Amino acid sequence: MESHHPLKLNRRQFLLHSAITAGGIISTNLVAKSPVFGEVPAIITSDRMRPGIPYGVASGDISNDSIVIWSRSDRPAKMIVEYSTSESFRNVQRVVGPNALKNSDFTARLYLKNLPPDQKLFYRVIFQDLDYQRTCSAPFYGTFRTPPKSGRDIFFVWGGDTAGQGWGINPDFGGMKIYETMRQLHPDFFIHSGDNIYADGPIQSEVTLDDGTIWKNITTPEKSKVAETLTEYRGNYIYNLLDKNIKRFNAEVPILAQWDDHETRNNWYPGQIILNDDRYTVKDVNLLAQRARQAFLEYLPIGYESNNPEKAKIYRSFNYGPLLDIFMLDERTYRGPNSPNNQPVASKKTDFLSKTQVQWLKRQLLSSKATWKVIASDMPLGLLVKDGSTDFEAWANGNGPALGRELELADLLRFIKNKNIKNVVWLTADVHYAAAHYYDPAKAKFTDFKPFWEFVAGPLNSGTFGPNELENTFGPQLVFQSLPPGTKANRPPSEGLQFFGGVKIDGNTKVMTVTLRNLAGKIVYSVDLPPEK
């Protein structure tokens, strides 16, 4: 049995744990007081008799005094979370959560609330068998740190694009190593900027590299074709959780997740009908997106009422103490069709966020009292991202005045200027390389905005592409991009051109330092941003 405990055990805990790993399975009495296994009423002789936790634990949607804890059982079971400020689980707090049932693919989540500030907390997830209530899983352990009230540095990482273009889990390479690189930096949390999976990207067992060597992937039936059924979409998330690096990362770093296109299929938008892809028997993208959204909400630690996931919103905001607010956008659910994107007047066809989401973002920005306001956008603002020969996938549509979807962005940037909202920084991914862009109204066609920075990071174990062309509508200036000249498309992770971003906010000076880092964690770009006062 895999050990789920990264923490130190005392002698009694060790003996109990040893009994489990040796094959004698101990059933947990959930009303008992032992720090690890309670009053241990019986020995169960077969591991099959109790629930398992095959994919570990994760935490997410962390805010000032609350967090979401996620896990998955291998059968119907009740989720129970115990947590403590002590590594030995003294003074343990217990929260009884929902049932993990077949209709949610045995996933479950619960909120921990009223948590102490600036405190490292240790937690464990236990699943209780619904039929035999004295039979429980072995605990799976995790940890996180709550936001500070003042005076402490904040450090977080971000990136996007996981397991795309056929580059999956290669044990010979060490799996998805970039997640281990990020974990070793001990970030307070992680923003996944979209493309958590590549539902339209099957994983083959072998890929021949340019030098003739073989990249070998772990494969599963659900990752051997494009996802169309709910089972196949779920299988894409399960595939990533087979990676030891991701599993370890999830247990130690809270996740703020948003989605982009590949959670459903490449460049999708509501109402799309698939015309020229014979891999799909289901042609209605709305139906695919419904299944994709359900799997996304089931398998990521996103907060919502367990009996009401259909009302969950992917756009949401989080306060992380007095220095930072984070605003997570949803640039898929409400967009109009991809088009030449050159309409002179705003309409439903030019929606990217939608009026409702824009108004929400304006209210959130206006009410924010945090020093820094980070907008997590799953797509970049000024980079051209094409969809076919004539249509555009993101905000940008080419040089010139604001048109099409850019009208929505122009309205938002004008609002930020008119209301004098300070220290807004945009973080994004999507284009599979890293870059730093400074948006300068003095060099823009649309000029009614405050200058700001946008930082791009990725991919996380996917093919490397780029660089993309910048347009001049909002005056973005290329300050840095990560690709060597002449880089070919779809470079494998083994070439090292994988990138993530880091953000540190100094607890005393309030200076934000943004770094872009490669697969090994080496800083390839850094800039200090003093706060506007």
Other CB atoms within 10 A of residue 530 CB:
11
Q: Helix, strand, or coil here: 437?
A: strand
Per the rule left: phi > 0, alpha: psi between -120 and 50, beta: everything else, 413 is alpha
Using 50, 70 and 90 to split pLDDT, how confident is the model at 46?
A: low
Please tell me the least confidently modeled range out of 162-166, 309-313, 327-331, 497-501. 309-313
- Asked if residue 26 has pLDDT above 80, the reply is no
- Asked if residue 471 has pLDDT above 90, the reply is yes
Tokens matching residue 32? 């008992």
Angle of helix 230-241 versus helix 244-252 axis, rounded to 10:
80
246-290 pLDDT, tens digit per residue, is 999 999 999 999 999 999 999 999 999 999 999 999 999 999 999
| AA letter at 163 | A
How far is residue 140's CA from residue 390's CA, in Å, rounded to a whole number? 50
Domains identified in the chain and CATH numbers: 11-145 (2.60.40.380), 154-529 (3.60.21.70)
Q: Nearest CA to 334 among 359, 314, 351?
A: 351
> Exposure of 418 by Cβ count < 10 A (0-12 exposed, 13-18 middle, 19+ buried)?
exposed
**Is the model more confident about 507 or about 30?**
507
67-88 pLDDT, tens digit per residue, is 999 999 999 999 999 999 999 9
How far is residue 527's CA from residue 504's CA, in Å, rounded to a whole number? 11
How far is residue 411's CA from residue 425's CA, in Å, rounded to a whole number? 17
Q: What percent of the chain has pLDDT over 90?
A: 88
Instruction: Provide the mean pLDDT of the chain.
Output: 92
Angle at 115 between CA 112 and CA 120, to 5 degrees: 100
Place of tokens 């590549």: 198
Residue burial 246-280, b: 16+ Cβ < 10 Å; e: rest: bbbbbbbbbbbbbbbbbbbbbbbbeebebeeeeeb
Using 50, 70 and 90 to split pLDDT, how confident is the model at 4?
A: low
- Bond into 467 cis (ω within 30): yes
> Which residue blocks in 305-454 are alpha helix, DSSP H?
355-367, 406-418
345-373 pLDDT, tens digit per residue, is 999 999 999 999 999 999 999 999 999 99
- State how far the alpha carbon of 361 is from the alpha carbons of 174, 221, 325, 403, in Å: 40, 40, 12, 21
- Residue 298: the pLDDT is 97
Tokens matching residue 341? 């994107």
Half-sphere exposure of 408 (CA within 13 A, CB side): 28
- Residue 130: the pLDDT is 96
Tokens matching residue 441? 């109204």
**Cβ–Cβ < 8 Å for 498, 178:** yes
How far is residue 19's CA from residue 16's CA, in Å, rounded to a whole number? 5
**Is the model more confident about 42 or about 349?**
349
Q: Nearest CA to 240 among 164, 332, 159?
A: 164
How far is residue 254's CA from residue 377's CA, in Å, rounded to a whole number? 18
- Residue 14: the pLDDT is 36
Q: Nearest CA to 425 among 365, 508, 477, 338?
A: 365
- Residue 247: the pLDDT is 98
Q: Nearest CA to 117 among 157, 62, 69?
A: 62
Q: Nearest CA to 524 among 456, 430, 428, 431?
A: 456
How far is residue 318's CA from residue 330's CA, in Å, rounded to a whole number? 15
- Bond into 117 cis (ω within 30): no
How far is residue 158's CA from residue 107's CA, in Å, rounded to a whole number? 25
How far is residue 421's CA from residue 102's CA, in Å, rounded to a whole number? 46
- Asked if residue 40 has pLDDT above 80, the reply is no
Half-sphere exposure of 45 (CA within 13 A, CB side): 0
- State how far the alpha carbon of 188 is from the alpha carbons of 55, 147, 152, 260, 526, in Å: 22, 8, 11, 23, 19
- Asked if residue 21 has pLDDT above 70, the reply is no
Tokens matching residue 270? 């509501």
**Cβ–Cβ < 8 Å for 137, 52:** yes
How far is residue 223's CA from residue 52's CA, in Å, rounded to a whole number? 23
How far is residue 296's CA from residue 197's CA, in Å, rounded to a whole number? 9
